Structure 1
Amino acid sequence: MTQTNRRWTWMVYMAGDNGKVFEQLKGRKQLFVPMEEQGYQDIQEMEAVGSTDEVAILAQFDTLSDREHTYRIYIRPNSEERVIENIPEQNTGDPRSLRDFIVWGIENYPAEHYAVILWNHGTGWNEDDIYAFARNRGVQLRASDDEVRSLSRNTRLSSAFFLSSIVEVMQLDDGESRAIAFDDSSLDFLDNAKLQQAFREAQEQTGQKVSLIGMDACLMSMVEVAYQLRANANYMVGSQEVEPLSGWPYTAILGSLTSDSGMTPEGLARLIVQEYGRYYEEDSRGSLPHITQSATNLTVVEKLAEAVGRLASVLRQLLAEKDFDVENALSYAKRKVVRFRDKDCVDLYDFLKILRDEYAGNNTELTAVLDEVINLMTLEIEPKLVVANVTSGLRLSRVKGLSIYSPFKGYSKFYDRSDFASCGWGELIRFHNSVHGA
């Protein structure tokens, strides 16, 4: 325990500088559904619970309307007036902004455990520069009327909380990259490496490791993202599919946390998933939305990557030998697997289950490693990989909590930047999709 009796400090990094309308020669362009109003609603949801002696609730809110300040908020207990600190306008796509917020929270509100929630639009591991059109007028994007935390469905480029080098991706138009924490005013966002950097530097400065990383954003519950963050926290909570604009039910989650502040990091991870599923089930009015939310034990992700690496090696060797049974089963799995709003993202379990069921050959090495990965995803063994998973909608009933990159064709020029690609999954995709070179 720390010197205080505080058990948890809950920090929400709110990248709400979205919805800007960009003037273009061919008309006005808006990348995102505006998030600022929803941000104020989510802060009100947190205020409905408020901090206690055992749980501190903090938020850093960057907005589109205030171009001079970003707000750091301590949400007071018992509906008291919030405590707001105005800091200079932040670029939420700069890892230093996230790092400094985490350090501020840990140093000013020390606790036994820390949860950091990334609040914004998101798209998994991909790292395309969605703001290139603002510098390069040749790329045109359209606004979205979808009430979800994602880019326009008509947008050719993908997005994410996560971007490593804007300059390098400015000229690309391949629709194959991911990120999170978008900032329309700064034309920037965080890529996987910068997200990892922010958490690593915060831990180096404070000596404290975050217990839970949450993604109140779309498409972030991916093997690639979990593997990137495996050393930065113990648990990750996020959605495989796009999230509704209303996002997480903060009142329900924080109400339960403050009532039982002694819960473990795994307990909180399970709680978030449970309350998310319950909220949308009760709010569905007879028509269940297509939602997903899952909690991943990051300490087991290394084991998963090793098994997937062995699987990729066996599959690639058999494909090189022109094994018809493997080619047939792999192609069938790619066609029938559950894909999400981003069609390059597939459910890992569903993909391997179809592959296992369709494989008619007798290679025991392949079947053994397929069974190993499938069991990691589903068996009640300790420690579990996916500790909680909730879905709704018939199409999503087969998904088990973690997505993986598996495009129908082609190969992202950025995939090899992800730590996970080096396990051999990237080489398998290139080989099967007949993409030569890195």
Structure 2
Amino acid sequence: MRKWLWLGVVLLLALIPAASAQQFENPLPIAYGESLSGQAADLSNLMYYRFEGAAGDQITILASSTLTDTYLQLGTPEGTLLAENDDISSSNLNSRIDFTLPSAGAYVISAGGYTPGAFTLELLGPGGPDTRSQFPVIQYGQTLSGQSIDIFSFSYYTFSGTAGDEVTIIASSPTVDTYLQLGTADGNLLAENDDLSITNLDAQITTVLPTTGEYLIGVAGYTPGAYSLSLTGPSTATDVVYTPVSYGQSIAGEVTATGQYTFFTFQGRAGDALSIEVASSAIDPYVVAGTPSGSVLAENDDISREDLNARVEVVLPSSGEYLIGVGGYSPGPFTLTINLSTEGDFLPTSDIATGQVFTGEITDALTYGEYQFEVPTGVTIVADLRATSGDLDTVMALWLGEELLAENDDRAPGDLNSYLEYPNAPPGTYYITVTRYGGEQGATSGTFELVVDLRPSTELPPTVTTSAPNPTANGYPTQEVAQRAEWTVLAYLGADNNLEGALLNDLNEFELAGGSNERVRIVALVDRSPGYDRSNDNWTGSRLFEVGADVSGDHSTWEFPPTIDSVTLADLGDLDSSYGSNLTDFLVWGMTHYPAERYAVALNDHGAGWAGIITDDTARGILTLSELEEAFRMALEVTGEDGFDILFNDACLMSSLEYYAAIAPYFDYVVSSPELTYNPSFDMELLTRTLNQNPAIELGDLGKLMMDKYMQDMGNDLPDLVDVLGATVTDLTRFDTVVAALNEFSRVVTSNPAAHTPVLGQARSNAYVYGFYLPEDEFGPAVFVDPGHFMKLVIEESRDAELRAAAAAVVDALQAVTFYGTAGNHLTRFSTFYNIYFPQRNSDVNQRYFQDTPLQSWQQLLRAYFGEATGGGRFRSATEVSPVPLYSPNALPVPAPQITITNLFPAVASSTTPAIISMEVTGRGIANGDFTVDIRLPDGTLQRLNSTRILTEVVEDGMADLINFWAPGVGRHTLYLGSGNCPT
């Protein structure tokens, strides 16, 4: 994909010329579909036009002239500026505005030019005359010629199709980078494409028509020039013929139509170095060499600027059959020659046995290797790739057929070797591709060693407890069973980390409310750290308490944490509070010795969403979801209780869909935050007092009291941060509807990931991300998105009715289980009070997620998404009936985007002459872009002046917003360095 960005560094806003009273009071009328002539004078004397529109009308305004550089504005009669445009591109000084009207009513167009001269103003909209009859008709099997102007000026063609027709549309040109769109007759966009590949700038769309009727094709180019448009469909498809060719042979062939390939096949040996050349005096040919699995090994259009023939040099990664595809920018004959340069023995075999060690070498002549292996059911694939000589920077990718599953460049910061694990791999034929960073354009080389293991997958991590709990054997006291209370609160405080002082304060909050009594029992386990807080005699290890009343009264002083007055029931030694069986013992012992009508559980510590809760620094562990699920299940099974009533997660990020899916069978209600939580967090004193005063309180109301108090405390203690904080009360008795809705959404996506990945990527780029305000270099990437906001963006972006319906069902299910949610002003705009795991970059994916998450359909969605988003699309022959892959997702990892500065004017910027920086960004899988300004100081060091995310302004319902979206083609972005003194 190619995207252009115009980055204008603006220090002083230009003043928009005001309309004269006479012009503004008497604007000329213009209607949709109408063109009017005008006369420009200069920018201080614009002409004004008025039209009526309806809410949602998508309009296009064009001002064109051969005599003057035109300028356009769109606004309201009251003088509000809605949009403006100066130049369509750097080479096209006409003006164009594309806009969706926010409301019904009158609108005003201002048009003119920088210098005197005539211009034409054209207004296009849904109410204008139907111009489709004026468009050329193209039939299946036909090729038409056209002329591009620029990326904003589309030429349109119509054709008729039948529902289920598989069509291929190709716009090709030897001189123009073409762009294609396919839409319905009423203007709904179905598909679009910029480039066939990184090196082939032709555009191609292959799709299945959804309905019977008329369709529109739009063709544009980034520069002026001639192009050919071809359309193939079922009536023109023929069986693909593969002509065998051998080393040293020259064979004649013919390109029958633009965009259609002539195929050849040959047998090769691992390590063979080949030269494949296509020559023709009649056409401009191009050639692609690939593997039967669909990997592109090499492709070329022109040997040089003067020589339009095509040639590739390639070293075969394995022994077996290979494919060659030859195409051309016009029909005509060619000659294919394949020569063996060096006979090789690079790879002894393409089959991998588990634990087998492979060695090889990456050089400038040999940059790629492919290994095939079969995977049975129930295994985890572990691949370890290490450089053994040279400066080789390895890159490895794992494929299932044509789907990219996982890839790795560096196993750790500073370690250029590669490593990946893929748990619970479905059975099938897999490939591992080995290359260097940068692929063919890379600069490193050396020998390597690859080890692949197939290890049995386990449903539960090794730390999951499956044996019956035995608290007494693990140090819990034997004592008389207390009388059955109305409530028992079981507080599990994992303080073996930097929250030690804060969790001792939580224990004191229970004491401030009077502690345990016959109506409300408070039982707590505290696991302390040896290295942080030194209060309360600095005892370490794990202790068991029935919480007593506060006696010391030092909670209101500067003493933190306050004195703990409760008497220890048992010293349990140094327990690992992140170990599942220890939580099970605590729950079983507490429920057995302090039975109650209702049970509340409080988990107080660090939280990590899907990864778990309760961290133990000494043991370097965390309670995983499977351990938590097992602990709650076994505690209820052993004690004979029906379930827990409510769970308080006094920890970060625990309003997690993965977490709730794991614990929903065991709790009626849960109270958590989808965002980070800050001390003093949830008020245990309020919880205890409320249960004592009103033990029959509704669970949702209890949670609401706690959440309102939390936000009140945050407003008092963290006024600068409260806007992004929030918490929620969730009814888990109906959470199965959320899981079912997510399953259906994932099914829709994975049924056609190539079609849905662009929409998901756009929604992910703009979805609310929890913890976004934390610096990535210190806390890592923000990977928890709000699922409701994400689904709403999918609904906005997608034109697929099934996908939109599935997303809407998820939103409805989330709303149905949300009893109450509260948040600061900023978070309220976006949040539905839950988070789900969705990294933005493939490199940020934690492979552990695929094994640990209970939302297996969601992890399948992520696998499909990252496979499509990072692997690119598969291309087929235009005449192909049965899918025989020549092109597939590029076997090499996505290269870094290429940025080329094409123009900078002026060289010295000022407040009156802002710098206009023109640049070309070429790449795929781009998550976002940043504009960074540094100044080089006299000593050679750099000082950062500003770093700004490149966003696009959109106007919806009259409100302007900035979103992470780059439209294909040319865009203009105005970025500011800010006020104050700026060094020269």
For the aligned pair, the TM-score class normalised by the smaller chain equals 0.7 to 0.9
Between stretches 212-221 and 77-86, larger displacement belongs to 77-86
Match for residue 49 of structure 1 among 513, 520, 534: 513
Q: Does 1:297 align with 2:731?
A: yes
Q: Structure 2: where are the runs of 5+ without partners? A: 1-480, 531-537, 553-564, 772-780, 872-984
Displacement, 1:102?
1.0
* d(CA) in 2 for partners of 1:78, 1:343: 40
* d(CA) in 2 for partners of 1:287, 1:14: 25
Instruction: Write the mapping of 1:26-425 to structure 2, written as runs, cut at 5 A.
Output: 34-50=498-514, 51-65=516-530, 69-77=541-549, 81-85=565-569, 86-125=571-610, 178-208=611-641, 209-284=643-718, 288=722, 290-320=724-754, 322=755, 326-341=756-771, 343-359=782-798, 361=799, 363-378=800-815, 384-395=816-827, 397-410=829-842, 411-422=845-856, 424-425=857-858
Q: Structure 1: where are the runs of 5+ without partners? A: 19-33, 126-177, 379-383
Instruction: Give TM-score, length-normalised by structure 2.
Output: 0.35
* d(CA) in 2 for partners of 1:409, 1:333: 14
Q: Which protein shows a greater Rg?
A: 2
| Cα gap change, 1:116 to 1:258, in 2 (>3 Å) | same
Does the 8 A contact of 1:49 with 1:79 survive in 2? no
| Code of the aligned partner of 2:488 | T
Deviations 1:74-116 (CA, angstroms, capped at 9, x unpaired):
1225759523122222110111111111112112211111111
Give secondary structure in 2 for the equivalent of 1:199: helix
Displacement, 1:343?
1.4
Give secondary structure in 2 for the equivalent of 1:398: coil
| Code of the aligned partner of 1:308 | L
Does the 8 A contact of 1:52 with 1:77 survive in 2? no
* d(CA) in 2 for partners of 1:234, 1:194: 19
Structure 1 vs Structure 2: percent identity of aligned residues? 24
**Which residue pairs with 2:301 in the alignment?**
none
Displacement, 1:419?
4.8
More helix by share: 1
| Cα gap change, 1:300 to 1:187, in 2 (>3 Å) | same
| Cα gap change, 1:343 to 1:287, in 2 (>3 Å) | closer
Does the 8 A contact of 1:113 with 1:265 survive in 2? no
Deviations 1:309-358 (CA, angstroms, capped at 9, x unpaired):
111111233434x3xxx444322211111101261110011101111122
* d(CA) in 2 for partners of 1:6, 1:278: 31
Instruction: Give TM-score, length-normalised by structure 1.
Output: 0.75
* d(CA) in 2 for partners of 1:9, 1:275: 22
* d(CA) in 2 for partners of 1:35, 1:327: 40
Does the 8 A contact of 2:849 with 2:859 survive in 1? yes
* d(CA) in 1 for partners of 2:567, 2:593: 13
Does the 8 A contact of 1:415 with 1:421 survive in 2? no
Give secondary structure in 1 for the equivalent of 2:596: coil
Does the 8 A contact of 1:8 with 1:112 survive in 2? yes
Displacement, 1:192?
0.9
| Count of residues in correspondence between the two structures | 356
**Which residue pairs with 1:26 in the alignment?**
none
More strand by share: 2
**Which residue pairs with 2:492 in the alignment?**
13
| Cα gap change, 1:278 to 1:5, in 2 (>3 Å) | farther
Does the 8 A contact of 2:489 with 2:520 survive in 1? yes
**Which residue pairs with 2:416 in the alignment?**
none
Displacement, 1:421?
3.0
**Which residue pairs with 2:981 in the alignment?**
none
| Superposition RMSD in Å | 2.4
| Cα gap change, 1:42 to 1:190, in 2 (>3 Å) | same
Displacement, 1:68?
6.0
Does the 8 A contact of 1:118 with 1:215 survive in 2? yes
Between stretches 285-294 and 182-191, larger displacement belongs to 285-294
Deviations 1:255-313 (CA, angstroms, capped at 9, x unpaired):
22221111133333333223222322343457635322112222222211111111111
* d(CA) in 1 for partners of 2:550, 2:577: 30
